[in-house]
Amino acid sequence: MENKKLGRQSFQPASPPIIIGYGSAAGQKESSGPLGRHFDHTCKDDTFGAKSWEQAESSMQQLALDAALKRAQLHTVDLDLMLAGDLLNQCIGSGYAARASGVPFFGLYGACSTMGESLALATLLLSGGYGTYAAAVTSSHFCSAERQYRTPLEYGCQRTPTAQWTATASGAVVLTSQSAKGPAVTRVTVGKVVDKGIKDANNMGAAMAPAAYDTLKAHFEDTGLSPDFYDLIVTGDLGKLGSEIVSDFFSTDGVPLSNYNDCGCLLFDTNQQDVHAGASGCGCSASVLCGHLLPGLLAGRWKRILFCPTGALHSPTSTMQGESVPGICHAIALEGGR
Amino acid sequence: MENKKLGRQSFQPASPPIIIGYGSAAGQKESSGPLGRHFDHTCKDDTFGAKSWEQAESSMQQLALDAALKRAQLHTVDLDLMLAGDLLNQCIGSGYAARASGVPFFGLYGACSTMGESLALATLLLSGGYGTYAAAVTSSHFCSAERQYRTPLEYGCQRTPTAQWTATASGAVVLTSQSAKGPAVTRVTVGKVVDKGIKDANNMGAAMAPAAYDTLKAHFEDTGLSPDFYDLIVTGDLGKLGSEIVSDFFSTDGVPLSNYNDCGCLLFDTNQQDVHAGASGCGCSASVLCGHLLPGLLAGRWKRILFCPTGALHSPTSTMQGESVPGICHAIALEGGR
């Protein structure tokens, strides 16, 4: 059997890479949420021992990767490739985290879809015959994101009801091309840049929802599978509003999703925690994957998950120049593991 | 024959992908330089018809890709994958350029090494059995880079002698996994993040030179080839100072490079044009590749080129926080074409 392309956007490895390690780090608010006890590393003051919020992101990535390598019973030097990205200007969270590793490195920018992008590329590279072990890593930090995308926290700006709370969290996954026990990445749908003209930079859910819908539809068309093939379809960080839009789109199509949730709604208790429309940030889907979804696959809670991180490819500059907010979403099919 | 990993950092496709199209766009200063007449699109006021410098980058990417597709006798819809990145915060040059394309998209951040990173990934994905046509695209713009990394141009800041001039340019390459006539990508060496502690953000050449040396050494060790296997070894954008450092390192090792040059020294006439230590920016190596190196391979001027774009993975924030400037370099072996 050969690696193949399915339809317009999807790829199917002949020998699906196996996830043999995963690790997570999360901040105070995240570890107080419903999934809090599942994270490998938490930190009460969100500094993770670093002097700046930006450096704290690099620390989180290193902690998450260390935990993933430990589960995989590997050392950093065993990795053939590292694929990582984050939200910071020039992706410094990832660049500085990778500096000490000595691992061949591909830096990515997919905004909050980065866990999907890094998993997609790791899957395609390993199954393409290139290397034995690859790591996919990402992070976000509430304090670095707020001052970069919006205003410094000290301003105390009010948040709109549609705003989401950037997760202070990181997730790392180690995959192998060898036969092993663990969840397999069986299919990958690579997203297109989709822009429906949303210009409200405080409503990322609405901006990204059309990209999620586009990629999910492409996945089902390309693979011939129906949504109920998966026990769980989970988008990245659309939050309450964005995930309702995706549900509405599929209902309008006559294919209501009964098995759908969103990482932005899972990470926080939106009724109890002051996070408005839910969680966002690269670290949101990454930490939910590593703290909740992968352990659930290993425990047999689910057998098949379609994991679909979403990203908004804008910047404060593009918003100030009057541009709308384009979105992207990559879909990663995870199967088995028990 | 199978795709394989060579040594620690290098990969060799069993069937090397072929470059069947390339295109370039360049600004006024770049088109006044020694390579000026070789670019597909030039613009006297550097706006490329856009209202902002950032939007001009997206326009340049679209022009370069259109020229590459035209040479490849393809349409956008034929592309299976697009891999693109740039220097702007959140890589908006690439995200907005890709918006209209409808092509499955991987956003990259490798700073000025992005042409190497995108070519490396396109090569590994296509030869891994994933798709028939892929595009690798990148850009930089002097005016958007200056106001983002340093100061708005209107300030009229003085430049240090070690400073380089960010190229206003874009390059796009179209590769295929099918048999075709054109230069082949025969080997790829993926760079590690290398940091020798340089903290002067106005001396990118010195910051990136150790990464270039590291990747070149890895390439020769991994492949067993000696530098004279290549007719030309060309680094990305080290400029006069950085490329002298690389030459010095190899001379100290007792392996003087007789066939070495740097895109940062090729794009401008550093004696005649007011660019201090030479050119930099993602668009530097990308436009030199598409305006000079690939046409040279096709004309038989060279038979084998090792193309090694270099990037500095820092940001103004990391510099202000006292961090040093890490570098990365990816090496791409280009052979034949005539």
At A137-181, the pLDDT tens digits run: 999 999 999 999 999 999 998 999 999 999 999 999 999 999 999
CB B307 within 8 A of CB B329: no
Query: With 0-12 CB in 10 A as exposed, 13-18 as middle and 19+ as buried, what is B98?
Result: buried
CB A20 within 8 A of CB A297: no
pLDDT at position B1: 74
pLDDT at position B49: 97
Local structure of A323: helix, strand or coil: coil
Structure-token match 């699906």, residue found: A16
> Within a 10 A sphere around the Cβ of A199, how many other Cβ atoms?
12
pLDDT at position A113: 98
What span, in angstroms and rounded, lies between the C-alpha atoms of B299 and B338?
6
**Which pLDDT tens digits describe chain A residue by residue (338 residues)?**
799 999 999 999 999 999 999 999 999 999 999 999 999 999 999 999 999 999 999 999 999 999 999 999 999 999 999 999 999 999 999 999 999 999 999 999 999 999 999 999 999 999 999 999 999 999 999 999 999 999 999 999 899 999 999 999 999 999 999 999 999 999 999 999 999 999 998 999 999 999 999 999 999 999 999 999 999 999 999 999 999 999 999 999 999 999 999 999 999 999 999 999 999 999 999 999 999 999 999 999 999 999 999 999 999 999 999 999 999 999 999 999 88
Q: Say yes or no to pLDDT of B80 above 90.
A: yes
| ipTM higher than threshold 0.95 | yes
What span, in angstroms and rounded, lies between the C-alpha atoms of A41 and A76?
18
The answer to whether the CB atoms of A3 and B313 lie below 8 A apart is no
pLDDT at position A1: 74
Q: Which residues of B touch A195 (CB under 8 A)?
A: 99
The answer to whether the CB atoms of A328 and B91 lie below 8 A apart is no
Closest C-alpha among A291, A1, A328 to residue A189? A328
Task: Provide mean pLDDT across the span B4-11.
Answer: 97
Q: What are phi and psi of A183, to 5 degrees?
A: -65, 140
Local structure of B2: helix, strand or coil: coil
Q: Say yes or no to pLDDT of B146 above 80.
A: yes
Q: Say yes or no to pLDDT of B286 above 80.
A: yes
Chain Cα centroid distance, residue B296: 17
Among B4, B105, B112, pick the best mutation site for testing chain A contact (most A Cβ within 10 A).
B105
The answer to whether the CB atoms of B108 and A108 lie below 8 A apart is yes
pLDDT digits (tens, 9 = 90+) for A78-132: 999 999 999 999 999 999 999 999 999 999 999 999 999 999 999 999 999 999 9
User: What is the rounded average pLDDT for all residues in chain B?
Assistant: 97
pLDDT digits (tens, 9 = 90+) for B94-131: 999 999 999 999 999 999 999 999 999 999 999 999 99
Global pTM?
A: 0.98
Amino acid sitting at position B226: S
> Within a 10 A sphere around the Cβ of B38, how many other Cβ atoms?
16
pLDDT at position B225: 98
What span, in angstroms and rounded, lies between the C-alpha atoms of B47 and A17?
45
Q: How confident is the model at residue B149 (pLDDT cuts 50, 70, 90)?
A: very high
The answer to whether the CB atoms of B193 and A11 lie below 8 A apart is no
How distant, in Å, are the alpha carbons of B28, B158, B279, B291 from that of B155? 21, 9, 21, 33
pLDDT at position A135: 98
What angle do helix axes A239-252 and A204-223 make, rounded to 10 degrees?
40
What span, in angstroms and rounded, lies between the C-alpha atoms of B186 and B305?
10
Cα R_g (chain A), whole angstroms: 18
Give the chain A residue whose CA is nearest to the CA of B196: A99
What H or E segment, with its residue span, contains residue A217?
helix A204-223
pLDDT at position B338: 85
Q: Which residues of B touch A9 (CB under 8 A)?
A: 104
How distant, in Å, are the alpha carbons of A5, A142, B2 from that of A54? 38, 10, 42
Q: Say yes or no to pLDDT of B291 above 90.
A: yes
Q: Which residues, in sequence order, are bridge partners of residue A169?
A: A26, A140
CB A329 within 8 A of CB A215: yes
The answer to whether the CB atoms of A91 and B313 lie below 8 A apart is yes
CB B249 within 8 A of CB B211: no
Chain Cα centroid distance, residue B181: 23
Which of B11, B55, B105 has the CB atom closest to A328's CB atom?
A: B105
What span, in angstroms and rounded, lies between the C-alpha atoms of A143 and A65?
21
Closest C-alpha among B30, B49, B170 to residue B98? B170
Structure-token match 């530098």, residue found: B227
Among A52, A92, A94, A199, pick the best mutation site for testing chain B contact (most B Cβ within 10 A).
A92
Give the chain A residue whose CA is nearest to the CA of B328: A105
Q: Which residues of A touch B326 (CB under 8 A)?
A: 95-96, 99
Q: Which residues of B touch A8 (CB under 8 A)?
A: 104
The answer to whether the CB atoms of A193 and B317 lie below 8 A apart is no
Closest C-alpha among A277, A288, A333, A283 to residue A311? A283
Number of helices and strands in chain A (H, E)? 11, 17
Torsion angle (degrees, nearest 10) of CA B17, B19, B25, B29: 100
Q: Which residues of B touch A98 (CB under 8 A)?
A: 192-193
pLDDT at position B285: 98
Q: How confident is the model at residue B214 (pLDDT cuts 50, 70, 90)?
A: very high
pLDDT at position A93: 98
Which of B92, B99, B129 has the CB atom closest to A315's CB atom?
A: B92
The answer to whether the CB atoms of A110 and B109 lie below 8 A apart is no
